[in-house]
Structure 1
Amino acid sequence: MKIVSFFAGAGGLDLGFQKAGFDVIWANEYDKEIWETYEKNHPHTFLDKRSIVDIPANEVPECDGIIGGPPCQSWSEAGSMRGINDKRGQLFYDFIRILEAKQPKFFLAENVSGMLLNRHGEALKNIQELFKNAGVGYELSFQMLNASDFDVPQDRKRVFFVGIRKDLTFNFQFPNPIGKKIALQQAIFDLKDSVVPAKEGNKTNKENCTIANHEYMIGGFSSMFMSRNRVRSWDEQSFTIQAGGRHAPIHPQAPKMKFIEQNVRAFVNGKEDLYRRLSVRECARIQTFPDDFIFHYTHIAAGYKMIGNAVPVNLAKHMALSIKSQIENAEKKIRTRKKTNLELENSLS
């Protein structure tokens, strides 16, 4: 099946769908810091570099599916929480505009768990109605998933909306959790001795990276960062990989941070040298990007941003496989029903 991708970022969602057998023929990303990374890692996908607001629907290729993660900052529990009143939140409307015009078999939209907060209830209801009534209409399913349940070594809760065109006559069923979780030791232990710090000003140190992007952000830690323990052990899953390098979790080689008082933690005395941020490559591994997926940037912050904003590749793959199998089963039933009806008509004539 051919799909198009909006708000593609570095393409974690796209790569997951490709691994599940979909053909990502066209993608859209407005952030110029990402273009080189996307194009070099997705050489067979055409990248449209305009804002979705400026893209006429007739310039989007015909497709079987539309996927994307409209910007989540306005819905974030840590952000302004203005939701649909924020211009970034309104980009949902342009996503729906394209959907209504193209009428693909399915769509998938991903966003942060903050969308489910009570204060966004009215906006969420409005978005649900827009999805359901787009064109011929879609059967809508949505659910919050934790990436750690789907072969991703990270606690990361996100909401997925999946719409199935009504003529396919079924409601999408979300995949069940895999069961066994992946720990940090399995994901990044082999990288622990080959990391390098970024250059002064947190510029890339790529010429000294023996493993691509295996460099970490340098500099101090804010009081907000030091208000919580930021260390997960080797036998645990990572904290959520965020889009800001300064908020990257601490490497599991370090002991858990020491509690001082409410909202105040400290590094263990004598162990301070063990407290470094996870590298760009370690974050990419935790987001389940393969090592041959190279991130291109001048300042290391851009690398963390691309990775932190991505949908984990393995989670995307599990979602894609589930969508693919359910659509194929539905289409098989429709063909069988049509064949049976035709045979019945012939027998009666």
Structure 2
Amino acid sequence: MKIFRLGEMFSGPGGMGLGAKLASMTWEPLGWQIHHEWAIDNDAASCATYIQNLCPTEPHKVICADVQCLDMKALSKINAFAFGFPCNDFSLVGEKRGINGQFGALYQYGIHVLNQFEPDWFIAENVGGLQSANQGQTFRKILEDLQQAGSGYQLTAHLYNFADYGVPQMRQRIIIVGIKTCLNLKFLVPAPTHLNQHITARQALENPPILPGITNQEITKQSPSVVARLKHIRPGENAWTANIPPELRLNVKGATMSQIYKRLEPDKPAYTITGSGGGGTHVYHWQEHRALTNRERARLQTFPDDFTFYGSKESVRRQIGMAVPPLAAKVIIEAILKTFAGIAYSAITPKWQMAQASITGYKQLRLLEKRGIYVI
């Protein structure tokens, strides 16, 4: 039996952790297990959510602390690691400050963990905007640091659209999987499972219906002006594309964010669920004149209904929007377990091929990019 002891950093409410648990449940009969060793986050509400849902009998495994003030030498040994380092400075809807922003350099604490424990494998997750931060230099620097951490890692980096893997949401995220070079194993990007059969917003929110009394289902009371505005917005439209009367239009100069007061399209996956934002960014029902509840957002993120989030309503919104969808995490972690078990699975070419440009040659790089393959 092979046991991977998993450590998590920037763990949030436990999207990655739940995905690992679900993958482990599938593979445990075959002799592969994932045991949660520790999870670290600096948000008290997120830590409470993680504890109550994933390790209620072992609360000490969740460390509520700022990684910048944490004594990492006190952490127990792990041989698997996951970290979704904060994406604020790389997000397309943020200020895009990149590696020099308040959160940009926090990935280095993940590097510290890799140097200290040299786990057999790791997963790093971030927003798609990371690839273009600082003209791509930030992404290259992060990949270089991950590749050289510990005794060296073989990386597979890909831009996933989670809707292609059964998540009812058009959510694009960069996932980097690293396996210790000395193990001579290569992670392959699992082939999409739902490429031509996306789960729709209607399917996610109505099948099955959300039962009365379920947690995190508080409905936000909309102001009369918001209700009046929504009456003029059809599914798929937003505040800028809908035919809204002049007196109900938003008087915001230079702002045309496509998600402002955007209604879902019932027969398509949802657009990206975010964790923050002011008025008009809460994701709106296709028929009812209201924002989604946190439970509905959680469903679009593939959290089960018995997964209760703790904290204020806005805190819960943030936790859900910032989390890794558990179903997406499960798919990727199962592929990692198959890689270690020597079990073949359907795979696709990763977006980025890990090679040195000086070896590949400029012309070859351009030819590969025309085929949708990017060499780092």
Residue 212 of structure 1 aligns with which residue?
Answer: 215
Residue 98 of structure 1 aligns with which residue?
Answer: 113
Helix, strand or coil at the partner of 1:73: coil
Does residue 17 of the first structure (1) align with residue 51 of the second (2)? no
Distance across 2 between alignment mates of 1:193 and 1:28? 31
Residue 138 of structure 1 aligns with which residue?
Answer: 153
Residue 280 of structure 1 aligns with which residue?
Answer: 294
The size of the alignment, in residue pairs, is 295
- Counterpart contact for 2:133–2:139, Cα < 8 Å: no
Does residue 177 of the first structure (1) align with residue 192 of the second (2)? yes
Letter in 1 for 2:269: Q
Q: How far is 1:98 from its partner?
A: 1.2
Distance across 2 between alignment mates of 1:287 and 1:34? 16
- Which among 285, 293, 309 is matched to residue 322 of structure 2? 309
Q: TM-score, normalised by structure 1?
A: 0.79
Distance across 2 between alignment mates of 1:62 and 1:187? 39
Distance across 2 between alignment mates of 1:243 and 1:92? 20
1:143-158 alignment, distance < 5 Å: 143-158=158-173
Does residue 321 of the first structure (1) align with residue 334 of the second (2)? yes
The verdict on how the C-alpha distance between 1:251 and 1:85 changes in structure 2, with shifts beyond 3 A counting, is: same
| Structure 2: unaligned runs, 5 residues or longer | 25-33, 227-238, 240-249, 344-376
Residue 267 of structure 1 aligns with which residue?
Answer: none
Measured against aligned partners, the alpha-carbon deviations of 1:140-175 in whole angstroms (never above 9, x if no partner) come to: 111110110111110000001111100111221111
Percent identity, aligned pairs only, is: 30
Q: TM-score, normalised by structure 2?
A: 0.74
Measured against aligned partners, the alpha-carbon deviations of 1:190-226 in whole angstroms (never above 9, x if no partner) come to: 57787xxxxxxxxxxxxxx611111233345594578
The verdict on how the C-alpha distance between 1:120 and 1:102 changes in structure 2, with shifts beyond 3 A counting, is: farther
Helix, strand or coil at the partner of 1:2: strand
Residue 136 of structure 2 aligns with which residue?
Answer: 121
Residue 29 of structure 1 aligns with which residue?
Answer: 41
- Counterpart contact for 1:109–1:160, Cα < 8 Å: yes
**Most deviating of 144-153 and 170-179:** 170-179
Helix, strand or coil at the partner of 2:125: strand
Residue 5 of structure 1 aligns with which residue?
Answer: 8
The verdict on how the C-alpha distance between 1:163 and 1:301 changes in structure 2, with shifts beyond 3 A counting, is: same
- Counterpart contact for 1:30–1:50, Cα < 8 Å: yes
Q: How far is 1:324 from its partner?
A: 1.0
Helix, strand or coil at the partner of 1:242: coil
Helix, strand or coil at the partner of 1:230: coil
Distance across 2 between alignment mates of 1:193 and 1:313? 19
- Which among 46, 51, 64 is matched to residue 39 of structure 1? 51
Q: Supply the RMSD in Å over aligned alpha carbons.
A: 2.1
Q: How far is 1:58 from its partner?
A: 2.1
**Most deviating of 140-149 and 182-191:** 182-191
Q: Considering only CA atoms, is the larger Rg found in Structure 1 or Structure 2?
A: 1
The verdict on how the C-alpha distance between 1:228 and 1:122 changes in structure 2, with shifts beyond 3 A counting, is: same
- Which among 204, 212, 237 is matched to residue 269 of structure 2? 237
Distance across 2 between alignment mates of 1:80 and 1:103? 34
- Counterpart contact for 2:5–2:79, Cα < 8 Å: yes
The verdict on how the C-alpha distance between 1:176 and 1:42 changes in structure 2, with shifts beyond 3 A counting, is: same
Distance across 2 between alignment mates of 1:151 and 1:109? 20
- Counterpart contact for 1:214–1:279, Cα < 8 Å: yes
Helix, strand or coil at the partner of 1:74: coil
Distance across 1 between alignment mates of 2:179 and 2:340? 8
Distance across 1 between alignment mates of 2:95 and 2:124? 21
Letter in 2 for 1:149: D
Letter in 1 for 2:54: H
Q: How far is 1:228 from its partner?
A: 5.4
Does residue 76 of the first structure (1) align with residue 77 of the second (2)? no
The verdict on how the C-alpha distance between 1:193 and 1:211 changes in structure 2, with shifts beyond 3 A counting, is: closer
- Counterpart contact for 2:261–2:284, Cα < 8 Å: no
The verdict on how the C-alpha distance between 1:238 and 1:101 changes in structure 2, with shifts beyond 3 A counting, is: same
